[in-house]
Chains A and B, each alone.
Chain A
Amino acid sequence: MSTTTENPTGTTTRTVVVVGHGMVGHRFVEALRSRDTESTWKVTVLSQEAEAAYDRVGLSSYVGAWDRTSLALAGNTYAGDDLVDLRLGTRAEHVDREARTVTTSTGDVIAYDELVLATGSHPFVPPVPGHDSTGCFVYRTLDDLDGIRVAAESAIERAAVEGREANGLVVGGGLLGLEAANALRLLGLTPHVVEFAPRLMPLQVDDGGGAVLEGLISHLGVQVHTGAGTSSIAAQDDGRLAVELSDGTALLTDLVVFSAGVRPSDAVARAAGLDVGERGGVLTDAACRTSDENVWAVGEVAAVEGRCYGLVAPGYTMAEVVADRLLGGEATFPGADLSTKLKLLGVDVASFGDAMATTPGSLEIVHTDATKGTYAKVVVSDDARTLLGGILVGDASAYTTLKAYVGREVPGDPGALVSPAGAELGADALPDDAVICSCNNVTKGSICGAIAEGACDLAAIKGCTNAGTTCGGCLPTVKKLLVDSGVELSKALCEHFEQSRAELFEIVASTGIRTFSGLLARYGTGTGCEICKPTVASILASTSSDHVLDGEQAALQDSNDHFLANIQKNGTYSVVPRMPGGEVTAEQLITIGQVAQDFGLYVKVTGGQRIDLFGARVEQLPAIWQRLVDVGMESGQAYGKSLRTVKSCVGSSWCRYGVQDSVGMAVDLEHRYRGLRSPHKIKFGVSGCARECAEARGKDVGVIATDKGWNLYLCGNGGQTPAHARLLASDLDDETLVRYIDRFLMFYVRTADRLQRTAPWLDALEGGLEHLRAVVCDDSLGIADDLEAAMGRHVEGYQDEWKAVLDDPEKLSRFVSFVNAPEEADPTVAFDESGPRKVPVLLGLPTVRENA
């Protein structure tokens, strides 16, 4: 039976069937489709799992987030590619090599020209009595983890009722076993690990490293039982499992996870009569061709020249080899590096090259630091010059560079490589053919080549070389190469977002994503931090008029924005009523005085022509705002990255020199821009004549009156690095002035980095002031309408944030010192009023450190 058809370009199209859509199966399809420019192959992929190929290496990160989409491998559905037919939830049941067909679990019979087996492995479950009891799991697929999660959660509930802690047992203390133990811990169980060998991770580390590792891991609350096997498992009446170890230990556990190694999933291949390796796996030659010339095997199921590889990198290489062969190439599998590096429970472990010093005559140099909990060993050749391998526990920062040196002569004394005082090996000293990213086999040469061709950040290097796209372990070294090359440092906001603030702003504006979690899921990693959360909160606030405490946004705000007041050193807040232009009525002033008196607040006049009331406790804030609202005032932002104040001189209405009404203009401007969230704080000043009494040129936006109108100055800053504002345009009428300020502010809000004030922003702006003038005055980018419309929406949507809290019982309920005692004042807040002014008294805790 032949599947040959004509394709549009006149060449023939043949069919390759891929069995298994794991990491390697997917890589094969990608490799074939990207190289097969003539479309000579049609691909049918059978995937037993319901999920399209996902990042199994990162499986453990599924715990906690429980978000399947974040593990999906890029391009795993082949959307838009008509030559790939991906059939999820479909097993290959039977291969008829004679007829060249595969029969699926859905009953379809698919004809192939070539067959690629990428069925991976499955966990080995030792046949101990009771191994199939309810509560026994393996750790390989997303579904496995969902099962463990359900069991762990009910175990915790049960344990809580019984007043004990819930625990889980992992059989196997290798790499995966420790990952599983960490997962159990994250789920809230106390993990036990049983390892048959005398040390943890017996395949990767030696006894010395194992001892340091065991110490570090026990310290994290994992109970380690080494040198013991599992003898039996018996279900108990209360739903728990009684486990007996070979050393006589008896444990009661809520669940068991087997992680005692894997076995190649070669059942279909065996049934089809293909040769298999001594220890299982589909036997292939160096071209990954099996005993049938039309059948290939790649990934964990392949026994290439008799040897199986349990890592993803060799699997990827095999995928590339077969793709090349199907297109007429001659590639062969070169063998693979079995180095590993991982971070388990926060502990770094790495082993590389000849870690166990099996090379005849090799020497080991070991450095152990018991207090720091680190173990480092390098293995060198008998002349102590060539690096052969090594093991790092506790601190594996040197891993990528050391590994790249394997098989090469080390510059200087090899002992220095592991001694903390010793010279660090620089990535710059590495030769061009040293492999930096071992997952994707990318050399230093190709990374530097990409940089030379203009890849100027990590994302670009990842995009054009694939380096760093799998385990990410090589990223620090890639970054170092980037920095060494003189390219400007990454603009990554923090460890959770690789984008800069401006890029995130663009993303929010163009995708319409309105939640932090949505943005993180699609464009970031992890759960966020004190850097990215407020930044995203600010972007969301600049692009809509939702209240800053609405929905999920509440959890993103810095404490000040969260409580809409300014936190002070003892945890109390200061309230600064809005006073545009420094204008205040007698009635308002009296109210402020009474509030200060009634709440015992310390009063100080600020530099921004406002009055600051210090020392209010969280639960007092709403009452204070209410008093202000009652006399037609509102509180104001003396906090947050937002418009602060518009300072003004008294201007033409009172001053004999004045040529324009500076107070009136200041009041209008503050009312227009109040509440605007920005990359950093923004201040305005308005002076009524060239004498400049309002010091407007020290402000982000300085407006100075002329006979004919207003001069507009931009990007002046006070603070640590003062800068004078620079003249943008002269003699503007009121309307043009406001239009230009609208455009300027929105342009800054969109393009500045986090915490970049206007002066450094202008310095960094390509083309400087000229460019800014072109954008604001001449609309050189054609975005002026857009900027004005965005500001229009802000002005339109402004609401008194403080009053909105008073009007919303749910938000109001958060303004308490203690959730379980809402009436209680915080007893730790105290003041000293014996001196010339009221001051907060800090707690008499043992001080951390003088300079802290």
Chain B
Amino acid sequence: MTTLVSPPQGMSAEVAAAAGRNVVRPGILPSPGARQWVSACPVTALVPGRGIAVLLPGGAQAALFLLPNGMIYAVDNLDPYARAAVLSRGLTGDRGGEPTVASPLLKQVFSLRTGAALDDPEVALPTYAVRIQHGTVRVGLPLP
């Protein structure tokens, strides 16, 4: 038997509103230093849980992911095991809370946060900083 006698305390209207809002935020922080920000797409073009590839100046490719909790991550799109540009097409998820993507080819699992291959301490993907400005997702490249 539950009776809610008074309205929830300590929860301001602002907090309540935020809890319902789907906020999107970068999961990989820029390390300090100048960088070039490449426009990828509007935030609304991302499908939660799925990735998409972004062509970077110089021919590199980033795999950009929006997770259902609103975090955005970018790692390199090249699968170092398969030697093919496929990671943006992998399935996302988590392993013990660590956000992950699994290669669609041979299913190796990488951390979206650090790029590390979770079953292979010697392998890691490059990661890219992400920011959202005026509804556009941008991927950060360190200046050469």
Chain A residues at the B interface, C-beta cutoff of 8 Å: 48-52, 61, 64-66, 77-79, 81-82, 84-90, 105-106, 141, 143, 146-147, 149-150, 153, 156, 160, 165, 186-190, 221, 343, 346, 495-496, 517, 526-530, 532-534, 552, 554-556, 558-560, 562-563, 567, 569-571, 813-814, 817-821, 824, 826-829, 842-849, 852
In contact, B47 and A555 (Cβ under 8 angstroms): yes
Q: List 27 A-B contacts (CB under 8 A).
A: A50-B8, A50-B9, A50-B10, A79-B2, A85-B1, A106-B5, A153-B23, A153-B25, A160-B132, A190-B29, A495-B95, A526-B94, A530-B109, A533-B91, A556-B49, A558-B91, A559-B86, A571-B82, A571-B86, A819-B53, A819-B54, A820-B39, A821-B55, A828-B84, A848-B81, A848-B122, A849-B122
Is B59 interfacial (CB-CB < 8 Å)?
A: yes
Is B141 interfacial (CB-CB < 8 Å)?
A: no
| List of A residues within 8 angstroms of B25 by Cβ | 153, 156, 187-188
A160 to B140, CA, bound (A): 12
In contact, A66 and B68 (Cβ under 8 angstroms): no
For the A-B complex with A160-B132, A559-B104 known, give 13 more contacts whose Cβ atoms are closer than 8 Å. A85-B1, A105-B6, A106-B5, A146-B18, A149-B18, A189-B29, A496-B93, A526-B96, A818-B53, A819-B45, A820-B55, A828-B85, A852-B106
Is B40 interfacial (CB-CB < 8 Å)?
A: yes
| List of A residues within 8 angstroms of B102 by Cβ | 529-530
CB contact under 8 A between A86 and B81, given known A188-B26, A814-B47 = no
CB contact under 8 A between A571 and B84, given known A90-B5, A150-B18, A160-B133 = yes
Q: Which residue of B lies closest to A821 (CB)?
A: B55
CB contact under 8 A between A88 and B91, given known A165-B30, A820-B40 = no
A-B contacts counted at CB < 8 A amount to: 214
CB contact under 8 A between A848 and B80, given known A77-B2, A529-B93, A530-B107 = yes
Chain B residues at the A interface, C-beta cutoff of 8 Å: 1-11, 14-15, 18-19, 23, 25-27, 29-30, 32, 38-41, 45, 47-50, 52-55, 59, 61, 64, 67-69, 71, 78, 80-86, 89-100, 102, 104-109, 120, 122-123, 131-133
Q: Which residue of B lies closest to A146 (CB)?
A: B15
Q: Which residue of B lies closest to A551 (CB)?
A: B47
Q: Which residue of B lies closest to A66 (CB)?
A: B19
Pick the contact of A818: B19, B55, B90, B104 (CB < 8 A).
B55
In contact, B4 and A845 (Cβ under 8 angstroms): no
A846 to B76, CA, bound (A): 14
| List of A residues within 8 angstroms of B109 by Cβ | 529-530
A826 to B5, CA, bound (A): 60
A567 to B88, CA, bound (A): 13
Pick the contact of A88: B4, B32, B41, B96 (CB < 8 A).
B4
Pick the contact of A87: B3, B7, B30 (CB < 8 A).
B3
Q: How far is the CB of A317 from chain B (nearest CB, A)?
A: 27
In contact, A555 and B14 (Cβ under 8 angstroms): no
Pick the contact of B26: A90, A156, A554 (CB < 8 A).
A156
In contact, B3 and A85 (Cβ under 8 angstroms): yes
A429 to B58, CA, bound (A): 61
A843 to B77, CA, bound (A): 12
In contact, A567 and B105 (Cβ under 8 angstroms): yes
Q: How far is the CB of A406 from chain B (nearest CB, A)?
A: 27
| List of B residues within 8 angstroms of A343 by Cβ | 96
In contact, B55 and A89 (Cβ under 8 angstroms): no
| List of B residues within 8 angstroms of A90 by Cβ | 5-6
Residue among A66, A165, A529, A571 facing the most chain B CB atoms (10 A cut-off): A571
| List of A residues within 8 angstroms of B11 by Cβ | 50, 143, 146
In contact, A567 and B89 (Cβ under 8 angstroms): yes
Q: How far is the CB of A106 from chain B (nearest CB, A)?
A: 5
CB contact under 8 A between A843 and B83, given known A65-B69, A146-B19 = yes
In contact, A567 and B2 (Cβ under 8 angstroms): no
| List of B residues within 8 angstroms of A85 by Cβ | 1, 3
The 3 closest A-B pairs by CB, nearest first: A555-B49, A559-B104, A50-B8
A147 to B132, CA, bound (A): 22
CB contact under 8 A between A567 and B104, given known A526-B97, A555-B47, A814-B47 = yes
Pick the contact of B97: A61, A88, A146, A188 (CB < 8 A).
A61
A527 to B91, CA, bound (A): 11
In contact, A86 and B1 (Cβ under 8 angstroms): yes
CB contact under 8 A between A530 and B90, given known A66-B19, A571-B84 = yes
In contact, A160 and B131 (Cβ under 8 angstroms): yes
Q: How far is the CB of B114 from chain A (nearest CB, A)?
A: 8
| List of B residues within 8 angstroms of A61 by Cβ | 97
A65 to B18, CA, bound (A): 13
Q: Which residue of B lies closest to A143 (CB)?
A: B10
A839 to B128, CA, bound (A): 32
A529 to B68, CA, bound (A): 13
CB contact under 8 A between A555 and B50, given known A50-B4, A562-B89 = yes
In contact, B84 and A843 (Cβ under 8 angstroms): yes
Q: How far is the CB of A624 from chain B (nearest CB, A)?
A: 18
In contact, B55 and A842 (Cβ under 8 angstroms): no
A835 to B76, CA, bound (A): 32
Q: How far is the CB of A852 from chain B (nearest CB, A)?
A: 5
A146 to B71, CA, bound (A): 16
| List of B residues within 8 angstroms of A527 by Cβ | 67-69, 92-94, 99
In contact, A89 and B71 (Cβ under 8 angstroms): no
Q: How far is the CB of A288 from chain B (nearest CB, A)?
A: 26
| List of B residues within 8 angstroms of A844 by Cβ | 83
Q: How far is the CB of B50 from chain A (nearest CB, A)?
A: 5
Q: How far is the CB of A718 from chain B (nearest CB, A)?
A: 22
In contact, B82 and A569 (Cβ under 8 angstroms): yes
Q: How far is the CB of A87 from chain B (nearest CB, A)?
A: 5
Pick the contact of A165: B23, B29, B133 (CB < 8 A).
B29
In contact, A827 and B15 (Cβ under 8 angstroms): no
Q: Which residue of A lies closest to B117 (CB)?
A: A848
In contact, B27 and A84 (Cβ under 8 angstroms): no
| List of A residues within 8 angstroms of B30 by Cβ | 165
| List of B residues within 8 angstroms of A847 by Cβ | 83
Q: Which residue of B lies closest to A85 (CB)?
A: B1
Q: Which residue of B lies closest to A88 (CB)?
A: B4
A614 to B104, CA, bound (A): 17
In contact, A852 and B1 (Cβ under 8 angstroms): no
In contact, A529 and B95 (Cβ under 8 angstroms): yes
A141 to B15, CA, bound (A): 13
Q: How far is the CB of A185 from chain B (nearest CB, A)?
A: 9
In contact, A86 and B2 (Cβ under 8 angstroms): yes
| List of A residues within 8 angstroms of B29 by Cβ | 165, 188-190, 221
